[in-house]
Amino acid sequence: MPLWIWVGVAVVVFNIFIWLGLKEHEFQLDLMRCYSTLWTWVGGDKYHLINLTLPGGKMVHLPMGYVPYHPAVVEAWEKTWRIVWATFVIASIVAAPVIMWFITWANKRGSDILKERHERGAMLVERPVLVREIKAHNQDQFSQECRSGTPQRNPAMVAQLSLPDRVELGIHTPYSIAGIPYPWRLEQSHTMMIGTTGTGKTTQLRSLVSQLRKRRHRAVIFDLTGAFMEAFYSPETDIVLNPMDARCAPWTLFDECRNYADFVSAAAALIPSHPDDKEPFWQNAARMLFIEMCIKLQELGETNNAAIAHHLMQADLKSIHSKLEDTVAGPLTTEKAARMAESIRSVLNVNGQALRFMPDPVPGGPPAFSIRDWISTQHRDGSIMFITGSYNDLELTRGLFTLWMDLAVNNLMRLPKTRDLRTWYLFDEVHALHALPAIEHGLQSARNYGGAFVLGIHSFDKLVSTYGLQNATALTGLARTKLILATADRTTAEKCSEFIGSREVRQMDEAYSYGYNNTRDASTLTPRKAIEPLVIPDDINNLPSLRGFVKFPDGFPATRVELQWKSYPDVAVGFAPRPEFKPTEYVSPEDRRRRAKRADEGGEGGTEHVPNRPVNGAKPVLEKPEPQRERSEAERAAAGIEINQPQALTTLAIPQPAGTGEQAVTSGPRGVSPGPQQGSLTPAALDGRAARAPMMAGMGNAVTGARSGQDMPEMGRSAGAERSADRTGDTVREDRQEDQVIRELRDGIAVDNRDHHHHGHDHDHGLDDGYGMAD
């Protein structure tokens, strides 16, 4: 091909010179010389006479062989040869660069033909290319918002303002991830960071926290390592929620839930069920029990964590049923199905036991904290809510952590809609919690309310084990920005490869054929299209620490990134243990009223007494010296067995009919004289004791039978055990009453009407709760 280029150039140049340099008669003389040479070469007669026309027009006769030697012909022929040599030189000069260009182009063309060619699909570009593309996009969007806003602003002037000034004016300033700015307002498209331990997830999350601190945005951070507390905690603005941390703010569920639906949502977060379980009966029943008890306690005014533990987790089944018998949870707590009831409560206790250790708000102590109020309070800019813990305590606190995160997400969506970023939700390890019921809805809708999620996971399989395959796939799809770091398992690497994307490429297949003769050898190129991943899973598995890939939504290409580790000075300890880690003490409403009264009187040493006037329309009852912990059925049975021992009997005071003013005292081996408590009994209380005289007489017979060697009724089984099949329903109820009386005899206290008439519709719960006399 280069030779043909030279020939072509030479022909063009030669024709130009001939047309410009030779006259017509000279061209004719050159042709006659060529004709004479050809005549001689074919053997023609050299002496054949011809007519030769000279330049002046004169015609001469001469032999054919003499034509090349005629002076006019020689002169014209020499001139033609000069033109030929000039053509050669000029053609070479002109054709050389053309030939070089052609050779270069041909080589490049050949290489391009053999190269894979991107047809469509995702792209992987160099980091500077992506940064330029995003900055250009953000500048266009920034200019449009400045011109279309109210009031209109000059983009050039706004760009010169400092970051705090822009934030103060409500002008969006993009965050950055791995040193690359987010495309305009795509922080709220949510982010997922995927990588095994030590690859850089926490490094990037701390970078985000540093950026939001500068912008004074709020955040909810789930911190299992204390890394965020150590670097960013400020006691003036931030909140710590961790029942095992001394800095934990007092909190109660009743400050978060205003109606029945709120309790339903909270119960679903506190008591989880696996998404693949279609009918989680035990979890649903435990939720119903928890919801109805919280509603009942709210009606009674006992809105604290200790009340939930006291009345639901520690109370006996009979006491629970007495409170919930008129609710939808009543059938779940009946003693006729005690085994099922205790199983349901065990599900609740396992998941909600952290509530027992959560500090309650107390007068004169730190103010109560409410997630609902914190989310809705607009003036607390820059505040961070740290939900902290450790892997050692996670079995105890996982349910409570899940509840708090769920409340934080749900309460955001109660706010008015906005395009501006309000609150970040940072989950360093989202699969460490139970499945959050609100997280999928939050990822779908939070961007409309100013929320941005960042989810960190170690492996996709772990996310599937928590949320199920379908929900895990939905979560990874809703978090559209991906930071992919090194992974430890093949499944996660394959998922990450899918997140980065695939492309369609055209490839050239080269085939060779060989023949017997060299002229039959050949090479054939055949184009072929194929779909292949941009990054194969093995490349992701073998990534070094702090290196990975970033993929943004909205058509931006993926790129390789390298994180920069930064050391943050410690401003606080990651975990400050409580001096005494024990369940929060339960204080009855009456005790709270007495303490408040003593505080109003200016001292704590005043005499305590039981008021002689009715409270809330109910009759006064005998006050216990201390509120005793409610016993399970097994404990009561054990107490009843002790009656067999003569030393266990106490004084039994049976009041005489009203008006006599006398009491019949039956003394056992350890008799006691009437003390101040018995002397302070009101007539109403005496009437209540007189009403129980026949029952106590029957109990005496039972005790006598026990002493004579007769078998006592079965009372040693655990709470929820079934009674013997041959006992009738009436006998069962009578035995339970006897069990209760035996316990009362052992405790040496009076019993109010609620113990044996808890099924009545005129029962006042507030009376017993107020005086600490609940079962």
Contact 196, 486 (CB under 8 A): yes
Which helix (H) or strand (E) element contains residue 323?
helix 317-324
For residue 200, the one-letter residue type is G
Domain boundaries, the chain: 2-114, 124-168, 172-250+367-587, 252-357, 633-771
In a 10 Å sphere around its CB, with 0-12 CB exposed, 13-18 middle and 19+ buried, how is residue 565 labelled? exposed
- pLDDT for position 662: 38
Alpha helical stretches, state H, 509-631: 537-541, 589-601
pLDDT tens digits along 291-310: 999 999 999 999 999 999 99
- What secondary structure does DSSP assign to 405-440, as a single string? HHHHHHHHTTSPPEEEEEEEEEETTGGGSPP-TTHH
Contact 560, 191 (CB under 8 A): no
Task: Please provide the distance, in angstroms rounded to a whole number, between the alpha carbons at the two ends of the chain.
Answer: 107
Burial 195-212 (b: 16+ CB within 10 A, else e): bbeebbbbbbbbbbbebb
The three-class DSSP label of residue 124 is strand
In a 10 Å sphere around its CB, with 0-12 CB exposed, 13-18 middle and 19+ buried, how is residue 55 labelled? middle
Q: What's 321's DSSP letter? A: H
For residue 515, the one-letter residue type is G
CA distances from 44 to 40, 65, 726 (A): 5, 9, 148
Burial 231-254 (b: 16+ CB within 10 A, else e): bbbeeeebbbbbbbbebbbbbbbb
CA distance 643 to 265: 47
Which helix (H) or strand (E) element contains residue 221?
strand 218-223
- pLDDT for position 256: 95
Quickly tell me which residue has 């999928």 as its tokens. Answer: 440
CA distance 548 to 562: 6
Helix axes 683-691, 693-707, angle to 10 degrees: 50
- pLDDT for position 95: 82
For residue 408, the one-letter residue type is A
Count other C-beta atoms under 10 Å from residue 326's C-beta. Answer: 13
Contact 282, 332 (CB under 8 A): no
Contact 9, 98 (CB under 8 A): yes
Q: Which residues contact 273 (CB under 8 A, 6 or more apart)?
A: 280, 283, 284
The CATH architecture that domain 252-357 belongs to is Orthogonal Bundle (1.10)
Q: Which residues contact 320 (CB under 8 A, 6 or more apart)?
A: 293, 311, 312, 333, 341, 345
- pLDDT for position 520: 65
- pLDDT for position 7: 83
Structure tokens at 693: 């005289």
Strands 384-388 and 239-241: parallel
CA 587 to centroid of chain Cα atoms: 37
- pLDDT for position 139: 94
CA-only gyration radius of the chain, Å: 48
| 172-250+367-587 and 252-357, same CATH topology | no
Structure tokens at 775: 């079962």
Q: What's 309's DSSP letter? A: I
In a 10 Å sphere around its CB, with 0-12 CB exposed, 13-18 middle and 19+ buried, how is residue 636 labelled? buried
Low-confidence ranges of the chain (pLDDT < 70): 378-380, 515-520, 599, 601-775
CA distance 141 to 148: 10
Q: What's 54's DSSP letter? A: -
The three-class DSSP label of residue 755 is helix
CA dihedral 579, 585, 587, 592 (to 10 degrees): 0
The CATH architecture that domain 172-250+367-587 belongs to is 3-Layer(aba) Sandwich (3.40)
Beta strand extents in 446-557 (DSSP E only): 449-457, 481-484, 502-513, 522-533, 547-551
Helix axes 260-270, 394-412, angle to 10 degrees: 140
Q: Which of 399, 480, 467, 482 is nearest to 435 (CA)?
A: 467
- pLDDT for position 518: 65
Largest CA distance in the chain: 183
Sign of CA dihedral 371, 375, 376, 378: positive
